[in-house]
Amino acid sequence: MSWEVIWDHVRDLAVLVSGPPAYPEGKLLGVPVIDSSTGTAQAEASMDLLEAWGLTGVITALVFDTTASNSGVHRGAAKLLEQQLDRKVFYLACRHHILEVLVGAVWENLFGKVKSPENPWFKHFKDVWTDLTTDNPTTLSIRQKWLNKKKKECKEILQEILRSEKPPRADYREMAELTLIVLGDTPPRGIHWSRPGAIHQARWMARNLYSMKMFMFAEQLEYDEETVVKLERLNLFLGLFYTPMWMSSTLAADAPANDMQFMKDMMKFKRTDPEIAQAVLQKLENHKWYLTQEVVPFALFGSRLSDQEKQDIAPKLHATEKPDSFGTRETYVP
C-alpha cells in the first residue's frame, strides 16, 4: 500500500508491504522524497525500495487509492510497477477511496458542488453544536419491506463489529455508532456524541459524520423542509448501504461479493430514490475497472457466500481455460 503526504512542494511517498511469514502485520520499507506525484515518480521510487529489500520476486498484489496517478491505464503507478516487475499482479484498489468518490457524488447531487476547501454546511453545524440538545435525535422512518430487511441486516453487522475484540477506533467507530442511532438502535457502549471535528473536504468520512448529525438535529437547526428531505434521503443511503459497505471494505476476500451486492442494491434502490441511485451507479460505471475477473477467486475465501454458492463457483473457475502465461497487459474493463 502507498499514500502521499504533501508538504509544500516536496512529496513524501510511504511504501509498505505485508504478507506472511515475514510481515503479516505490514512493514514500512521507506519514505522516499519524490519531486512530483506522477505515476512515473511513484513507480520508480517504489521499485527502488523493492529492489533494495530484495522483494521484487514475491510481490503478488498492489493496494492503492484510485487517483489517476496510481490507477491510470497507461501511466499510473500500478501499471508501471507491473511492467517493471514483468508479470501480472493483482490490483486491489482501496475500496474506501472508491466509496469516498460515491458519497461525494451523492452529496453533490443533493446539495451542489462545494467549491471551497471547507464545507459551509459543516462549518455552520460545528459553530452551533454546543447550543444543541442531544437527548432526542430524529431517526429514520422506513416503510418499504426490502429496506427494512436491509436495516435489520445493517444493525446486525454493525453491532457485531462494535462488540468484537478489536472494535474500530476514532471516526470509524463514530460512523458505525451514528448509523445505529439514526436507524433507531443503541450502540453497545450506549449513545455518545463526539464534538464535530475537521470540516475540510480531505477528511475521511466528514460527509457521513456531519450529515447524520445534521439530520438527527435538523429541527433544532431550523432547516427548511427541502433540506430536511434531502438529509433524510442522504441518510437512508448512508445508513442502509454505505456504512456497512465501508466497515467491511478492509476484507479483500469479501470484496468481490460486497462489490456486486452493492451494485445490485443500487439498481434496486433506483425504485426508491432514482437520483441518488443513478449518481452512485454512474460513478461505479466510471470506476468499474477494479471489478476485474482476476479477483473472483477471492470470493471462495470470503464469508459472504454460502458453501453451496462457493461449490457452484468452483467448477466454473476450474473449467476456465488457463492461459499459458500471466504477462502484463492493458487493464481489463468489464
Q: Which residue has the higher pLDDT, 10 or 222?
A: 222
Q: Which residue has the higher pLDDT, 314 or 66?
A: 314
What is the rounded distance in angstroms from the CA atom of residue 23 to the CA atom of residue 1? 13
Place of cell 504533501: 6
pLDDT at 322 over 80: no
Report the percentage of the chain scoring pLDDT > 90: 44
Chain segment 156-194, per-residue pLDDT in tens = 999 999 998 888 888 889 999 999 999 999 999 999 898
| pLDDT number for residue 325 | 62
pLDDT at 308 over 80: yes
| pLDDT number for residue 257 | 85
| pLDDT number for residue 318 | 85
| pLDDT number for residue 11 | 76
Residue type, 194: S
pLDDT at 10 over 70: no
| pLDDT number for residue 99 | 85
Task: Grade residue 273 by pLDDT with cuts at 50, 70 and 90.
Answer: very high
Chain segment 275-296, per-residue pLDDT in tens = 999 999 998 887 777 676 777 7
- Averaged pLDDT score across all residues of the chain: 85
pLDDT at 5 over 70: no
Over residues 59-76, mean pLDDT: 84
pLDDT at 333 over 50: no
Chain segment 92-135, per-residue pLDDT in tens = 888 887 888 888 899 999 998 888 888 899 999 999 999 999 99
Q: Which domains occur in the chain, in start order? A: 2-93 (3.30.420), 96-290 (no CATH)
Alpha helical stretches, state H, the chain: 39-52, 68-71, 77-85, 95-111, 120-128, 145-162, 170-182, 206-216, 218-221, 225-237, 243-247, 255-269, 274-286, 307-319
Task: Grade residue 327 by pLDDT with cuts at 50, 70 and 90.
Answer: low
| pLDDT number for residue 6 | 30
Task: Grade residue 201 by pLDDT with cuts at 50, 70 and 90.
Answer: low
Task: Grade residue 234 by pLDDT with cuts at 50, 70 and 90.
Answer: very high
Over residues 295-301, mean pLDDT: 83
Between 56-60, 133-137, 196-200, the lowest mean confidence (pLDDT) is in 196-200
Give how far Cα 238 sits from Cα of 123, 134, 183, 194, 244, Å.
Answer: 21, 21, 10, 19, 9
What is the rounded distance in angstroms from the CA atom of residue 134 to the CA atom of residue 212? 13
Chain segment 123-147, per-residue pLDDT in tens = 999 999 999 999 999 999 999 999 9
Task: Grade residue 246 by pLDDT with cuts at 50, 70 and 90.
Answer: confident
Reduce the DSSP state of residue 99 to 3 states and report it. helix
Over residues 189-208, mean pLDDT: 81
pLDDT at 7 over 60: no
Q: β-pairing, 10-19 with 33-34?
A: antiparallel
What is the rounded distance in angstroms from the CA atom of residue 297 to the CA atom of residue 192? 41
In terms of average pLDDT, the best of 223-227, 284-288, 303-307 is 223-227
